[in-house]
Structure 1
Amino acid sequence: MLKTLEIVDPAFRADVLNGLAEPIPAIPARWLYDRRGSELFDEITRLPEYYPTRTETALLEDRIDELARLVPADSAVIEFGAGSATKTPILLRAAKPKAYVPIDISGDYLRESAARVDAEFPGLAVHPVEADFTNHVDLPAAIDGMPRLGFFPGSTIGNFVPQSATDLLRHFRSILGTGARLLIGMDRVKPVDRLIAAYDDPKGVTAEFNLNLLRRINRELGGDIPLDAFRHQARWNDMMGRIEMHLVATRDVEFQIEDRRFSFAKGRSIHTENSHKYGPRGARLLLLAGGWTPLAEWTAPDEDFALILAEAERERFAP
């Protein structure tokens, strides 16, 4: 009997094979989000230790009327990442957009998320786009001429190193166009023990989320990585102002992916995710460097989290 193989994204193959061969092995965080990874992340957002989702949701609920007054009528909301079951409906109910365009790399998860929104908002035109939003994205022709509001919640911008984050913000600007607005969530610096707890929960859900990347590699790329040879670890990098997620070898281990062999000594790790934390000035400077002018900012009462609304103004050049 012939074995049915999954269609493998060539970018995934290249990122895995090249990333594991680097002196400091690393795989981009976007590959954590296959269908199972997306489900696990949803579970993470409901954990008591994981403060970003509930803090951002409460902040959005508290300030949504004020925010909605700053959104042009009959806008198209373009969400970078499939909509969450909590935050996205809050924005859609208050802003009353004409169209909603969720963009996500995980097709199955995207379609399910779009279907939920379509069922909850029967009068709203929903146009899901399956794509990696860090690369070229074609927005649907149906939203041509509509004012545009980009939505990038969850402090996902923190997954990118500052240079890449700046490039991504400029990329969003090119997708949305001059005059568009962007609502973005940014996590703030806080005590290290609280940060570590949020990214290494006692139930082990975050560990499962991280280890799922190895399962995906084995499934899609024909790897033979022994999962029991790696453990999840969250680290605070004070110099870089970020939480890092790693998969650390618990013993000397060798494995094969397609026709490539890899060897990891005990203690060596695969760097899988960053989550940069920003102070108020750093957040605004990042937006300005990315071509976005901050218009309004809302901060949680305990300074845990910020929502910033920015506008893509015409380029300005120093005299």
Structure 2
Amino acid sequence: MTTEKGIALVERDKDGVDKAFRQDVLAGLRQQPKAIPARWFYDEEGSRLFEKITQVEEYYPTRAETEILTARGAEFAKLIGPGRAVVEFGSGSSVKTPLLLEAIAPAAYVPLDISGDFLRESAAGLAQKFPGLPVHPVEADFMRRVTLPEAVEPLARLGFFPGSTIGNMVPRTAVDLLRSMRATLGADEGVGDSAMLLIGMDLVKDRKVLEAAYDDADGVTGAFNKNLVTRINRELDGTIPADALTHDAVWNDRLARIEMHLTATRDIDFTVSGESFAMKQGDSIHTENSHKFTRRSANMLLLAGGWTPVKRWTDSAKRFSLILARATEQREAP
């Protein structure tokens, strides 16, 4: 095994709580309507529940993306080439990440994730599967530029962002993330023509299929959504009554996205970090967006973020896409 213990770049307060988590939750609960960024789903239990979501019958993205990774390995290898450092934004899946690593023969693997325990567990598992591959886990908020380990400085980089997580962000935030990925991968420091990104984007499809994928019959996605309340109560001294909130997933056709909410079934009052809040029956906390894309909207988003699409693949049912992009060369205006 060649994995490192990991680099921790998350800033914590005196109570050991991620400062950004506290700030985002309090800011989100103060606003109307209330909203909390989806990235805070992923504590250890949230990460475990999401892995379980990927296995439920209604949730097609993981199966569709795995089909692409399984079928197109030779094409990935040809277009990407060997010897790159694969920088994965989010801890690697036990299924998807090995398929990519096997296909392209990288020189190093750098998983980035905000959930330290899940990150190290995932990194150790992949190091066992690939005993000759250096694995350098970095605990960090990849929404911002991340300084990579010195060991990968001389290597060309491939960013890997599977699962359509980019769809969780409104377009402005998604563009900012794509630009910060450019910076993390060194595209703005003289290696722009070698930095590449392989990114998953879910596709627009029938409303019933989409809503079922985010509200499965077994209630796993509902448990994942409500785990955010459990985390807030545990880490931020919250008193949110979880039994008064229900999981809702609805398709917003105008914005081409699934929205997840925690909706109050009665009037409630609660505190978080000593601050008081209230919700009326029917009020909700907006916890996640999952934007869906067409070929054109996906290309426009990538181009706005500084990436030029190179190749696009879909699964056999045309439900999901993987796109390979290269960092756009930044030319100064004449």
Return the offset for 1:116.
Answer: 0.4
Q: Which residue of 1 aligns with 2:230?
A: 215
Partner of 1:124, secondary structure, is: coil
- Consecutive unaligned residues of structure 1, counting only runs of 5 or more, are none
**CA displacement 1:4-49 (0-9 Å, x = unmatched):** x961111111111111010110000010000000000000000010
Q: Does 1:55 align with 2:64?
A: yes
Letter of the 1:306 partner, please give it. S
Once the 2 structures are TM-superposed, how far is the Cα of residue 316 of structure 1 from its aligned partner?
A: 4.1
> Among 109, 121, 126, which residue is 2:118 paired with?
109
Q: 1:238 and 2:253 equivalent?
A: yes
Is the 2:29–2:35 Cα contact (8 Å) retained in structure 1?
Answer: yes
Q: Distance in 2 between matches of 1:261 and 1:17?
A: 10
Question: Quick check: 1:184 aligned with 2:199?
Answer: yes
Deviation at 1:317, TM superposition (A): 6.2
Letter in 1 for 2:157: R
Q: 1:122-201 residue pairs with structure 2 within 5 A?
A: 122-176=131-185, 177=187, 178-179=192-193, 180-201=195-216
Indicate yes or no: 2:215 matched with 1:206: no
Give the equivalent residue in structure 2 for 1:277: 292
User: Equivalent residue for 2:306?
Assistant: 291
Alignment identity in percent?
A: 59
SS of equivalent to 1:222? coil
Residue 87 (1) aligns with residue 96 (2): yes
Q: Does the Cα contact within 8 Å between 2:36 and 2:285 map onto a contact in 1?
A: yes
Q: Distance in 2 between matches of 1:169 and 1:77?
A: 16
For residue 26 of structure 1, what is the aligned residue in structure 2?
35
Structure 2 portions without partners, runs of 5+:
1-13
> TM-score by structure 1 length?
0.97
Q: Distance in 2 between the 1:107 and 1:264 partners?
A: 32
Q: Counterpart amino acid of 1:164?
A: T
Residue 136 of structure 1 and its aligned partner are, at CA, apart by 3.1
Letter in 1 for 2:255: M
Q: Compute the TM-score of the two structures, normalised by the length of structure 2.
A: 0.92
Contact kept? 1:72, 1:147, Cα under 8 Å:
no
- The one-letter code of the counterpart of 2:162 is P
1:83-102 superposed Cα distances (whole Å, 9 cap, x missing partner) = 00001000001111010000
Deviant stretches of 4+, over 3 Å:
316-319
Question: Partner residue of 1:98?
Answer: 107
Aligned-partner Cα distance in 2 for 1:246–1:270: 6
1:240-279 equivalent positions in 2, closer than 5 A: 240-279=255-294
Distance in 2 (alpha carbons) for counterparts of 1:219 and 1:6: 12
Name the counterpart of 2:10: none
